[in-house]
Amino acid sequence: MPLADVVRRVVREHKLAAFARMISFDVKAKPAIVIGDADKIRAILDNLLSNAIKYSPRSGVVAIELFAEDGNAVLDVADQGPGVDLEDRPRIFESFYQGKRAPEGRIKGSGLGLAIAREYAIAHGGRIELLDRADGRRGARFRLWLPLGAIDPGTPSTAAPATLQEDG
């Protein structure tokens, strides 16, 4: 399945929630084909995007980048929120674990979203990890790795990234 299409679909599904908080998306997606359960892969992306919106400040930007590297589709989702406390990082993917930082006035989740995302990633031969933001700014950055199924035959591998600007 073309992962960029799944990313764009999930972004569209979250457009109303993002709009309510004046959050915009900056999506840069290069072609990447992965093989797997479309619903489970969509659930991974849905969780990452939901969390990014939940923890982003009003008028923030959620950056989403998809590219291929070393036989994997790599998807980064970065927000401009408070980030994940250092003491929470080792446990962030555990079932029912909820970090200390909850956005003001927001209902805490079940603590299952990232655990499920991790299990789905592993089931597809991939992994998910929490990284520091590449630009050194505050916020959370999650990276999903999924094995490439094939290169999109309709797009040369040297193509420039397709950019989708979604304004909240």
Tell me how far CA of residue 14 lies from CA of 9, 30, 47, 72, in angstroms: 9, 21, 11, 25
Q: pTM here?
A: 0.81
pLDDT of residue 101: 56
Identify the residue whose tokens are 């805490």.
108
- 75 and 65 Cβ atoms separated by less than 8 Å: yes
Instruction: State CA 103 to chain mean position distance.
Output: 18
Low-confidence ranges of the chain (pLDDT < 50): 105, 152-168
pLDDT of residue 91: 77
Instruction: State CA 88 to chain mean position distance.
Output: 19
pLDDT of residue 22: 96
Q: From CA 64, how far away is CA 66, in angstroms rounded?
A: 7
